[in-house]
Structure 1
């Protein structure tokens, strides 16, 4: 047995990766190509070396939340596991890797095969990111029921857990995530100001810097005075700063006939056994990139509070670091005395084949 494991939260936009003994690295899960440097692809965090971020072209392994471009994903994984990023020897290090809820059996099968046969992994655990988030919350709050809200790049999932197990009848999916928000922002700005339809990378940065609680790149400039001159190209963001994230609460604004997050939370909880409703309302946890929008937690709380019955308490927790919350759950899970019983070994794979993986991993 080893003292550390390797955790890969394989998100559709960013992969969170690292050993359980360290802080995770956040690596873009894509390959990018730039107009100014056509010959060189930028893999993962190599994008930091790009001199011109305008006109960057994404090649993504995920579409609509599922891994379908294996060549791209394998290239990114090779980069992640290399000396340039976060090197690992799978011969003596267990691997925890996340995959989407209700993942297609063909994708599950391919992932198992790649890690056992190509990467020669000795111990593997495939698991949903929401499972890791729930485990994280349960270990730090000591509760029996948790409602996990995962709002990421491709979608938003609301998943109820009762005594550590997914209650599948209550799971809700909303087809709005960071990708929809960025694409809608591109369309609005292109209609109102200048054509930015080819500037996905730049507009995604603008969305994060303008709407998130932490400014990570550049700055937001105040309105110019009458005697001041503009020194650089500027996008003027007015009501877009709140109308874009509003799609998480009203997907119908862009023609998606689905309920918003607070209503979906109530529908999800009401689909669960009556005796668990109160506990679920008291243990709602938000994580994922969209949870970083300023005021997101308060908005969800206020609307859920207004929709829930008055005699129930409502508690909504925003993960301390929404982007890496599931990854951190992997650290807690690795410390579980039963951890290795959840995993599959290469020896088991060679003896019993892929069918055992379907039995072992609750996807």
Structure 2
């Protein structure tokens, strides 16, 4: 299939990419790992969409474009200086380009990027010079016709999550986005993110999986090299406790009297046997190996609500939500309490909404209604909201065209895209001096630059130049 004119939707998450073409993949996008994987079993390397071809998922080695490479001190007005980790930002552009090349190729989306538009998501508080590299890749490597870049939560107002029949969308909503690297609490007022009230908890799916690996390795099996398998176990077995003390006491009982305990049967890839939860009373042969999941099922997700349990000096999710709403206009706070939406993979765990609802009710003013809206597929919620936004007739007005970028460089994007860092009036008046093709980069970067790993790689690395040059 050869597509020459289309709008590509790219929810570029740190764990998985949700991608599709407007009008074709509106409900069900292609979901691929945002990683380059080295398999120990067959000694092969799989890039992005190719991971599905892997036959043995034991001892996989991951190279992630979104990786932790250090930390810097940023000043986020009016919050003051903050120690801000570079985890969660796109820092390995060689890896990301190789994954995007495969995604745009005939094997997956089959798009001619030079004749297409792009809507892509970026991390919250994305660093300015990393944003410039996004612009360069989109217009110089892939030569997209136009593109729009934004944070995932800013798209939620256009989606179905908080939509109510026969009613216009609420002007006040609060999005809890719990993803791979972090959990963000994001208030949105009249379609714009209120950045002064955005809060972050340094707990995401990656930390939960790693903590489960360490716990299981200490108590039962050495699973420190089995990140993929332990993530599968976390998603299959873990839940959020609605009464932590009661469930903890239950787990102290004998196994026969403990309804929480589960046995997970490890996968056997040589026999093409996937991992699964053992059925009650099921007898197993000697070739089966199992992992007993007892209080690990709920103590791992508990970190989201009590980060201090692992030494993080941060408030739990419920207290963070209350702190965020307290920074908003007092006369509007009641509307934010009544319009809370959940997105991101961690919110899919059973019990998440009920636990959050119960804790928020105790923290909210007595005269405020508390309503929490959960998505049936929270991993896809931002993508489907992006589809709804891109389908609107006014979407082209928000996008930056290739001609605008060639004329003004990244200044065109800074002018049009709503961002956490306001554009200075003086710099917005003039035109950015050209530095090579498409006015590359900035003349002088400020002290918010991440480590050198964020610099754009030279052409020809990864898997060749943009996919647009390979399409017929």
Q: What TM-score do the two structures reach when normalised by structure 1?
A: 0.94
Deviations 1:201-239 (A, max 9, x none): 1111111111279x9x632114667x8654312111111
Structure richer in helix, relative to its length: 1
**Preserved contact between residue 189 and residue 195 of structure 1 (Cα < 8 Å):** yes
Aligned to 1:183: 210
**Preserved contact between residue 138 and residue 144 of structure 1 (Cα < 8 Å):** no
Aligned to 2:62: 58
Distance 1:361 1:206 in 2: 39
Aligned to 2:81: none
Does residue 152 of structure 1 match 2:179? yes
Secondary structure in 1 matching 2:293: coil
Could you tell me how far 1:4 is from its partner in structure 2? 4.8
**Preserved contact between residue 7 and residue 116 of structure 2 (Cα < 8 Å):** yes
**Preserved contact between residue 238 and residue 296 of structure 2 (Cα < 8 Å):** no
* 1:264 alignment partner, one of 310, 314, 320: 320
Distance 1:356 1:346 in 2: 10
Distance 2:396 2:350 in 1: 39
Deviations 1:314-336 (A, max 9, x none): 00000231001011111111122
User: What is the Cα-based RMSD across aligned positions, in Å?
Assistant: 1.9
* 2:382 alignment partner, one of 326, 349, 353: 326
Deviations 1:106-143 (A, max 9, x none): 11001100110110101110111111123325882421
Deviations 1:137-181 (A, max 9, x none): 588242111100000000000000111111111100001000000
**Preserved contact between residue 212 and residue 292 of structure 1 (Cα < 8 Å):** no
Does residue 310 of structure 1 match 2:366? yes
Distance 2:61 2:281 in 1: 33
* 2:151 alignment partner, one of 116, 122, 128: 128
**Preserved contact between residue 250 and residue 260 of structure 1 (Cα < 8 Å):** yes
Deviations 1:241-275 (A, max 9, x none): 10111111011111111111111111111110011
Could you tell me how far 1:304 is from its partner in structure 2? 0.5
Aligned to 1:249: 305
* 1:29 alignment partner, one of 27, 34, 38: 34
Distance 1:137 1:3 in 2: 27
Distance 1:52 1:295 in 2: 32
Secondary structure in 2 matching 1:32: strand
Secondary structure in 2 matching 1:235: strand
Alignment of 1:54-203 (within 5 A): 54-63=58-67, 64-136=87-159, 140-141=163-164, 142-203=169-230
Distance 2:50 2:114 in 1: 27
Could you tell me how far 1:337 is from its partner in structure 2? 2.7
Aligned to 1:278: 334
Which deviates further from its counterpart, 87-96 or 345-354? Answer: 87-96
Q: What TM-score do the two structures reach when normalised by structure 2?
A: 0.73
Distance 1:101 1:50 in 2: 32
Distance 1:228 1:140, change over 3 A: closer
**Preserved contact between residue 59 and residue 72 of structure 1 (Cα < 8 Å):** yes
Aligned residues: 358
The runs of at least 4 consecutive aligned structure 1 residues that moved more than 4 Å come to: 227-230
Q: Which of the pair has more CA radius of gyration? A: 2
**Preserved contact between residue 162 and residue 341 of structure 2 (Cα < 8 Å):** no
**Preserved contact between residue 132 and residue 329 of structure 1 (Cα < 8 Å):** yes
* 1:44 alignment partner, one of 48, 68, 87: 48
Does residue 218 of structure 1 match 2:220? no
Secondary structure in 2 matching 1:26: strand
Unpaired segments ≥5 residues, structure 2? 68-86, 241-263, 265-273, 420-472
Unpaired segments ≥5 residues, structure 1? none
Could you tell me how far 1:47 is from its partner in structure 2? 1.6
Distance 1:137 1:310 in 2: 28
Distance 1:228 1:120 in 2: 56
Distance 1:266 1:359, change over 3 A: same
Distance 1:359 1:59 in 2: 34
Aligned to 1:13: 15
